[in-house]
Each structure stands twice: as C-alpha cells, then as structure tokens.
Structure 1
Amino acid sequence: MGGKAVWVRELDRALAAARVDVTVSCAKDLPGPHERGTETTIGAVLPREDARDALVLPAGQPDATLDDLPPGSILGTSAPRRIAQLRTRYPYLTIQPVRGNLMPRLARLDAGEGDKPLDALVVSYAGLCRVSHADRATQLIPASVLAPATGAGTLVVEQRSGDTIAAHFLDAINDPATARLLAVERGVLAQLKGNCQTACSVHAHYTDKPHRIRVDAAVFHPSDGDAIHVAATGPADDLGGLVENITQLLHGEGVERLLPR
C-alpha cells in the first residue's frame, strides 16, 4: 500500500499545491514525525475520543468477544500492532489482512465475500463512531488486551507551514490538553524512528489533569511473541523529559531488536 504515508500523501500534495488550506486526518494514520517533510504542520488537535479498538461481527450475529471466537475463526485486520498482540494472545485464530476504508471493510464482512470469508473484524472504535456505526461494536477491547495505536482516537487538522491565517483559525479549535498527549506519543515514535512496519503502541493520559501525564509504551515482535512494555509518569509541562524518559526505558530493555532495520 506504500506505507503509512499512503493515507495522507494526496492530502499533503493538495496542501503544497494550495488546492486546499487545511486537511483532516486520524493521528494514528500519520507517518512518524521523522518521516514527514516540513511543508505541513499540525494546526489543531481535536479532543481525544475513545482510543480502544473494537470487535465487529457480521450483521445479524449475536454479540461476542474475542474470547468467544472459536478456534480457526478468521479475524480481519492489517495493523502490525494488532496482529502481533492478537497472534500472541489468540494463537488459535487466523489473522487475515484487510485493507481499505472502514465502510468497504464492513461491507466485505457482512457479505461474506472471498475464498475465506471473515468471521470478525478488529477496527478503531472511534472510527466506527465517526461513520455512525458505533452499534456494530460487540466488544470494546481493553487496552490491557490490545494496546491502542499511537494517536488513537485523535483527529488532527493540518495546514501549510507558515500559513498564519490558517493557524489563527485553527487555534480556535485546538485542544491543548489533547495536543500535549499527542506530542508525547509522536515524540516517542520519532525517537524510535518507527515506520508502518513497527508494531508499537505509545499511549499517554492524564493522571492528575492538567498537571501529570502517564505514558504506556510497548513494542512487539511481529511474529514470535517477544515484546517490551514500559511506563513512566511525569509533569505535563515537561513533555520533552517524558519522551526522553520513555525512550531511555525502551532502549534499556533492548528495543533495537524489535525495530525494523
């Protein structure tokens, strides 16, 4: 598919050509900060929605959870982060890559198309809510089972760098509290120099809003079950210190062995 940038490449081109003045993206679909140019910048971060993933079954089937799925069930998802965790926790399920936008994926699930029809999907719950299909979620998967994506549940509005008019308007809708969380998450991602093949999760939340932030970070081997989990808490006015602390903890656990080469 061309890596994570496939989701924003055309948007970036439209911004650079001044065909549009702002673009809207899911933060989790943005390439890492180290992979992007300087032509665009985040002008606004919207309040974070539910960051959890959701299980979706074909329309009309009784509600169920991941634990209810029988051995051999075909579970659709393409995110390396999800695949690594699901293979470790549910080795008896078959993971089937499923790409494309959410609505076509739901349609494929319901139609039972293909040589191996899907028995279930794992998708972003916030995504389901945005297309008015929150009712399709049969399970909101706890973060302890499926660590959320970096930037999960967060929409960002981007602009051309240096566009002061767009910056002025976007500042009115920016949520500083969520922006701080996203800055920490993407800061760690940048330090790891992760890419679309990196199975990782960096999730920040307030423990004493607006004063302290806790960061939970995990990096997974895509297939052998090896994983590193670290966490740290620090003051919300020292985002750089939090990023450095988490990065040092990950390197202390030997994260290099899990990163793409």
Structure 2
Amino acid sequence: MTSDQFRPVVAIEVTGLLGVPFPPNIDTKLLADVGAGSEITFRRGAFPSRFVGEPVWEECGEHRERWAFLGQGSSWVKSLLGRDVDVVWASRYQEYVNTYFGAALGLPELPVAARDDGRFHTTEADWKASQLSIDDYADRPLLWVNDELTTAGRHLLERYRKPAMRALTCSKYIPDSASNGDVQFMSDWLELTQSPSGQGELRRQRARFTNARRRRGFSTERMHREWVLVRTRLEYVVDFRSGLAAPLAAYAVDHAGELDVRVVAQIREEWGLAFDPPAEELLPLLSI
C-alpha cells in the first residue's frame, strides 16, 4: 500500500457533486429529463442540528424529499474507491449522511470527517475546514469538494492546515453538478499528489503564486501602477466574491510579454470561482 504521504483524502458534500433536491412542487413527469431520482425519507430523531433547515415534519416524524443524483460525480467518487484515495464525508448532514444518502448513491459507508454539531463555528465553511485539518488528514494531501465555497472558505482551510501541507491542499467549488472539466481537473490534481515528483511540482506552483501574491512593493513605481491598472480591469469582470484579481495582476506584471494561458488557468482554479470568466477570456485583460 502507498504511504499515507502519497495517499490523498477527498472530502465531499452530497449537494452539488452528487445530487440536488427537487423543489417540492415540481412535476414528477420532468424527473426523467433531469437524472436518476430517489426519494429520501428523513426522520426527526436523526437529523442534523446545524446548517440544514429543519423541514416540516409529518405526524409520524418523517419528511420525504425527492433528489436527483447526478451520474458524473457519483461515478467519479466510485472510481476513487478502487484507487489509493480515501473518500470521506464533509457534509452538512453530519453523521446521518451515510444513513440517508449512501445506499441511494450506491456508495459503501464512508468515514465522516465533519462530526461535531458546529455550535462553536459561525459558518459552515469554518466548521468543515477546522475538522478537515486535524487527526488523520493533517499530514496528507487533501481535496475538498463543496457546493458553497467562497474565497474566505478556501483561505480558512489553508489557515487551519499545517504550512508544509498548504501546497497539497485544493478546494473545488461545484454548486450543482460536476462537468467533465471538473472531473479532469480533480483527477489530475490527485495524480500529482501521489508521487514525489508530482508533489514537488505542486509545491513549485504554490511558491510561484505565493510570491506573486505576497509582493507588496514593486521594483519601480511604473510596475506598481501597472499592477493597479490590471487588477482594477479584472475586478470589473470577476465575481465580487472572487480572490482572483490580485494574483492574476501580479502574474501579468511579472511576466509581461510572455503570458501563458495555462498558468492563467491554474491561477483561476486556485483563486477564482465558477462564475469567473475562463482563462481564454481573462488572458487579453492582462496585457500591459
């Protein structure tokens, strides 16, 4: 078996990557057009205490919801179970996630990483990030897949993780369903974490981006003005919650005349959100 150092952990949420609940008034004739559906029966005595709104219970103490389970995400998760990858739940459904969703998704019982009730955390992202940084996951590569993930949530996870492991930490935002591009990106990242050379490349990428991000001064006043100009230009097009503008502007100033769309795509994956423009549209905005 591969050493834990090269055996990554993938922490997943149900909603987004794996499925979505149908609105209660949807026409059931539409279910076949959306994906495989399954009715989930929640019970009042086994329901999460935070981060999920409590439903209106029937007299018997049950609540039924119709969910669509999306094949791309669940197929990818199942493929990971046959490799040297540990898949764990980091779900707002807490310890009940296996009870309600495991069988419906055709998944075996998976470890639950987000275990406590979250009473000491103000946000769901903080609650999950704090627990993904301890115990069995502290010294291993970690991919966090979540349906509600802001720049602040990404930074929380990095802050909680050991400094030496931050280059081997990736947060992926999937709000509704996993695209082919999402699956390819996550698979490629996991492959890099499973070898010394791959981890070395991730650490070099991290060092390059960190150096650009941390620079507060520039060698000339002109370079600083150029950085402000590009950053302002980007802030008009990226999502208002995104952390993408500043590191992309730093890259533009540092590599004027030799910009690489592949590097732009990497920076976008690390600092951007799903709503941000693709790398091909961002590249022309970086010209100085």
- TM-score normalised by structure 2 residue count: 0.27
Higher strand share: 1
Higher helix share: 2
Give the number of the structure with larger relative contact order, counting CA–CA contacts within 8 Å between residues 6 or more apart.
1
Higher radius of gyration, 1 or 2: 2
